[in-house]
Amino acid sequence: MSVFSLAGRKALVTGANTGIGQAIAMALAAQGAAVTCAGRSPARETVDAIKAEVGIADDLALDLSDPLAARDIFAGQGYSILVNNAGIIRREDSIAFSESDWDDVMDINLKAVFFTSQAFAKACLKAGETGAIVNIASLLSFQGGIRVPSYTASKHGVAGLTKILANEWAAKGLNVNAIAPGYIATNNTEALRADPTRNSAILERIPAGRWGVPADIGGTAAFLCSPAARYINGAVLNVDGGWLAR
């Protein structure tokens, strides 16, 4: 069996109904995993696309605006892969940023990531099984950004959380890593792509010369969940077309 195979594994991907989450779910399924596509809104399009390619998938309603929403979904269910992809962004000048926009973003992007990971780890450790967690970080895990204070804080937090969980769980058979996507063409970046000045400035800095697409992240996630990555722990892997190398 290939060291990249996920055959016989069961995965849950949050925010799998569109964009990066959808691409990750499809990439895991392509390597043989049975994928639960979780989201606040139905992920039927993702499930149908996976099944059309002879993959295995199901749908799960999961609203992570309640950071503890996943506390009861892992026990006894055989999951060995978790991808914490669900996230939101709010844009406003820092001088005018509201408490509600701060809390909404932090609850989903950081607090839910921790408590979903905790529930997953408890189930794996109780069952005596190994597993892999992949968190979706951001270039703003390293940089400050503009007009997205809660998003930047949350993604810095995801990077730190990835490292502490790896420190505590690596020896117990749980690999915890993160992907920091660069500028990917998704709903979250629509405002940037629609701004000619920002779009041009971004493209000028990317050595690859293009915006990324969700599939660029999907393959990386599948790798980090596979046996080929079993000695990668606590990494935050940039998938950014070379943006941070510039």
Among 79, 151, 183, 231, the active-site one is: 151
Phi/psi of residue 148, nearest 5 degrees: -135, 55
151 is a catalytic site residue: yes
Distance of alpha carbon 130 from alpha carbon 194, whole angstroms = 43
Closest CA to 65 of 120, 110, 21, 117: 110
Distance of alpha carbon 152 from alpha carbon 158, whole angstroms = 10
Residues 6+ apart with CB under 8 A from 91: 147, 148, 191
SS3 breakdown of the chain: % helix, strand, coil, rounded to 5? Answer: 45, 15, 35
User: Token pair of 16, please?
Assistant: 């799998």
Residue positions annotated with a catalytic role: 151
